[in-house]
Chain A
Amino acid sequence: MSFTPARIVILDDDLDLLKLMETILAPRGFKIVTYSEAKVALENLKNEQIKTDLIISDIQIPDMGGLQFLSAVKEFLPEVPVLMMTAYGTINMVIEALRLGASDFIQKPFVKSDLVGATEKALKTQEISPQNTAAKLHHEIQKSQIICKSSDMQKVMELAQRVAFASANVLITGESGTGKEVIAKIIHNLSPRGSKPLVAINCAAIPEGLLESELFGHAKGSFTGAVQNRRGLFREASGGTLFLDEIGDLSLPLQAKILRVLQEKKVRPVGSNEEHFVDVRIVSATHKNLEQSIRKGEFRGDLFYRLNVIPIHLSPLRLRRDDILPLAQHFLGRMVKKYEMPEKKLTPAAMEALESHEWPGNVRELENAIERAVILSGDLITHDNLFITPQAQVQAPKSTMNIFDQFEPMPLKNLELMYIHYILSKTGGRKDKAAAILQIDRKTLFRKLSEYQKESEQPAQSVAEVTI
């Protein structure tokens, strides 16, 4: 049986880089053909009868432009994967390249393992048909129970599908409660790293002193309490994806350390002299405007560029109102099942109220509103059960009517539960913020919610039976 080596065409106007890439790839059994001019490469690719397995092209080629080259190649070689090379600072071009059909890209300057890894992966993508990818995405959407009826969310899902196969870092931005973590999970599950771990950490939730050892690990005895070696999340996620939530809240010294890991692909645990190689894709998320943070000196520009290779923005719910009712119906079905209740329906007035509300806490707030309504309503969920007020009414002068006049008398604990849910809706479901407003500690809040939930699960005295 004869073995035909994979044929790789490389296009770059930098002869030093062509030579280096050939030096790296040829010994691995690939047949390398290099071009420094796009027009010549295009002409030869069109005319030659030899099968090309992969094309690697710089995104900035003087005689034609990498994107134009990519577009032209895809016209007559649509099945051949094209890997684009880019220097940082060309994010828009990267997105456009992915839209035009690039299978992945390599960021310059790259290290040998990056090039070899991306090349091998791109050659494997030939085996994955678009039908399989679409089916997998459909499955992921079902599994994550994400609702994407609005065109905004459909675009996000399309982008998530495209970028999943790339190894590039992704930065997901959007207000709290818009579903950033859900998108991160979808990207991971669709990616070739899907079978490897997805490790998530909320950078804002862990004190700075602990975060370093949490991320990079520590050596036994490196500080008080370090009773054993700890691998750290970068190493735990090796081969997979590390999801850094609320990256915008990271301190500057830790930003520098993360930048170093991204550059060198090595971590050094706290108190250790040993470095460990890590192969991790970083998906990060923030509700902050990082460009503004850079201007204020609160976030490093160089780290931003490393993380923001592929930006994905999630619009707030108020700007994608088409998603509100499908989401509400989805949560309604889920909550009824969770509390083992008979089917419930939203009244037209309730639906109207849901659609007109501004949802400052976004999807999380909507989910909480529906959960609260399911617990507190009868068969029909009315406007009053939702405890949301149209924005205009919120700003209207306060009524002199006693707020309790609208309720039937009820046990104090029911009122307390209603108020807790009301505050949670105001904080977008953030229990830490809710606890601060209620002036109780988080544990007390969790305990109360848990107690009420247990009581609601007892059929005889279900809180849900109280109609207000």
Chain B
Amino acid sequence: MEVSLKIPTFENRKVFVDISFADIVPWFIDNRKQDIKRIREFVEVSDFDQIQRMGHRWKGTCASYGFEQLSRTGELLESCSVSQKREEILKLLEQVTEYINKLEIVYTSPGENNNSNEFHI
């Protein structure tokens, strides 16, 4: 059964993150940057299985940190790798790189209303 995927929107760069994650978020962001580099390498050698695995991880993990657009990106990477859409993957990597570089992270306390406009997957 096919399920239509929602394209991530990278316009809203403000992300609200639980303050108790503040110590590990920089490490998490660095890892995503590393992932992007690795995915580019996987595209070079057409290793779509690895991209699919990495997309699946992003999908399952990033929103738990508060980065829902990255989870959505992971979902899309997973789907594009199944159909081996090289160009789409590269375009998505370009967009997500820019998004990560310009992220504005706002740490919030539990229960604080953040009025986030982000999509939820």
Residues on A with beta carbons closer than 8 Å to the beta carbon of B64? 17, 20, 108-112
Residues on B with beta carbons closer than 8 Å to the beta carbon of A117? none
Q: Is the Cβ of A17 less than 8 Å from the Cβ of B60?
A: yes
B103 within 8 Å of A by Cβ? no
Residues on A with beta carbons closer than 8 Å to the beta carbon of B28? 16, 19-20
Q: Is the Cβ of A108 less than 8 Å from the Cβ of B3?
A: no
Q: Is the Cβ of B57 less than 8 Å from the Cβ of A14?
A: yes
B113 within 8 Å of A by Cβ? yes
Beyond A16-B28, A23-B23, whether A294 also contacts B1 by CB under 8 A is: yes
A264 to B59, CA, bound (A): 16
B63 within 8 Å of A by Cβ? yes
Q: Is the Cβ of A20 less than 8 Å from the Cβ of B24?
A: yes
A408 within 8 Å of B by Cβ? no
Beyond A17-B60, A19-B24, whether A109 also contacts B121 by CB under 8 A is: yes
B117 within 8 Å of A by Cβ? no
Residue interface mask B47-81, A partner, CB < 8 A = 1: 00000000011011111110010010000000000
A324 smallest CB distance to B (angstroms): 34
Q: Is the Cβ of A87 less than 8 Å from the Cβ of B60?
A: yes
Q: Is the Cβ of A302 less than 8 Å from the Cβ of B61?
A: no
> Which residues 14-37 in A have Cβ within 8 Å of B in the complex?
14-17, 19-20, 23-24, 27
Among B27, B31, B56, point to the contact of A87 (Cβ < 8 A). Answer: B56
Q: Is the Cβ of A112 less than 8 Å from the Cβ of B18?
A: yes
Residue interface mask A105-143, B partner, CB < 8 A = 1: 000111110000000000000000000000000000000
B20 within 8 Å of A by Cβ? yes
Residues on B with beta carbons closer than 8 Å to the beta carbon of A264? 120
Q: Is the Cβ of A20 less than 8 Å from the Cβ of B65?
A: yes
Q: Is the Cβ of B63 less than 8 Å from the Cβ of A301?
A: no
Q: Is the Cβ of A109 less than 8 Å from the Cβ of B59?
A: yes
Among A19, A23, A301, point to the contact of B4 (Cβ < 8 A). Answer: A301
Residues on A with beta carbons closer than 8 Å to the beta carbon of B59? 87, 108-109
A449 to B121, CA, bound (A): 49
B73 smallest CB distance to A (angstroms): 13
Residues on B with beta carbons closer than 8 Å to the beta carbon of A23? 20-21, 23-24
Q: Is the Cβ of B60 less than 8 Å from the Cβ of A109?
A: yes
Judged by DSSP, the binding face of B is: helix
A329 to B102, CA, bound (A): 71
Residues on A with beta carbons closer than 8 Å to the beta carbon of B23? 23
A333 smallest CB distance to B (angstroms): 44
B15 smallest CB distance to A (angstroms): 14
A20 to B18, CA, bound (A): 11
Among A14, A60, A85, A109, point to the contact of B63 (Cβ < 8 A). Answer: A109
A15 to B65, CA, bound (A): 13
Q: Is the Cβ of A301 less than 8 Å from the Cβ of B1?
A: yes
A405 within 8 Å of B by Cβ? no
A60 to B110, CA, bound (A): 30
Q: Is the Cβ of B1 less than 8 Å from the Cβ of A291?
A: yes
Among B1, B2, B60, point to the contact of A14 (Cβ < 8 A). Answer: B60
Residues on A with beta carbons closer than 8 Å to the beta carbon of B110? 112
Q: Is the Cβ of B61 less than 8 Å from the Cβ of A20?
A: yes
A140 to B77, CA, bound (A): 46
A450 smallest CB distance to B (angstroms): 46
A454 within 8 Å of B by Cβ? no
A429 to B120, CA, bound (A): 41
Residues on B with beta carbons closer than 8 Å to the beta carbon of A15? 31
Among A19, A20, A275, A294, point to the contact of B3 (Cβ < 8 A). Answer: A294
Residues on B with beta carbons closer than 8 Å to the beta carbon of A260? 120
B98 smallest CB distance to A (angstroms): 21
Among A27, A109, A112, point to the contact of B61 (Cβ < 8 A). Answer: A109
> Which residues 107-121 in B have Cβ within 8 Å of A in the complex?
110, 113, 120-121
A295 within 8 Å of B by Cβ? yes
Residues on B with beta carbons closer than 8 Å to the beta carbon of A17? 57, 60-61, 64
B121 smallest CB distance to A (angstroms): 7
Q: Is the Cβ of A24 less than 8 Å from the Cβ of B56?
A: no
Q: Is the Cβ of A302 less than 8 Å from the Cβ of B1?
A: no
Q: Is the Cβ of B1 less than 8 Å from the Cβ of A295?
A: yes
A387 within 8 Å of B by Cβ? no
> Which residues 282-310 in A have Cβ within 8 Å of B in the complex?
291, 294-295, 301-302, 305
A184 to B88, CA, bound (A): 44
Q: Is the Cβ of B20 less than 8 Å from the Cβ of A108?
A: no
A263 within 8 Å of B by Cβ? yes
Residue on B nearest A23 in the bound complex, by CB: B24
Residues on A with beta carbons closer than 8 Å to the beta carbon of B65? 16, 20
Residues on A with beta carbons closer than 8 Å to the beta carbon of B21? 20, 23
The 9 closest A-B pairs by CB, nearest first: A301-B3, A109-B63, A108-B60, A263-B120, A109-B64, A87-B60, A17-B61, A14-B57, A16-B61
Query: What are 21 contact pairs spanning A and B, CB under 8 A?
Result: A14-B60, A14-B61, A16-B31, A20-B24, A20-B28, A20-B65, A23-B24, A24-B20, A87-B56, A87-B59, A109-B60, A109-B61, A109-B68, A110-B64, A112-B18, A260-B120, A263-B120, A263-B121, A264-B120, A275-B113, A294-B3
Please give 15 more A-B residue pairs, beta carbons under 8 A apart, in addition to A19-B28, A112-B18, A263-B120: A15-B31, A19-B27, A20-B28, A20-B61, A23-B20, A24-B20, A108-B60, A109-B60, A109-B61, A109-B68, A112-B110, A263-B121, A301-B1, A301-B4, A302-B6
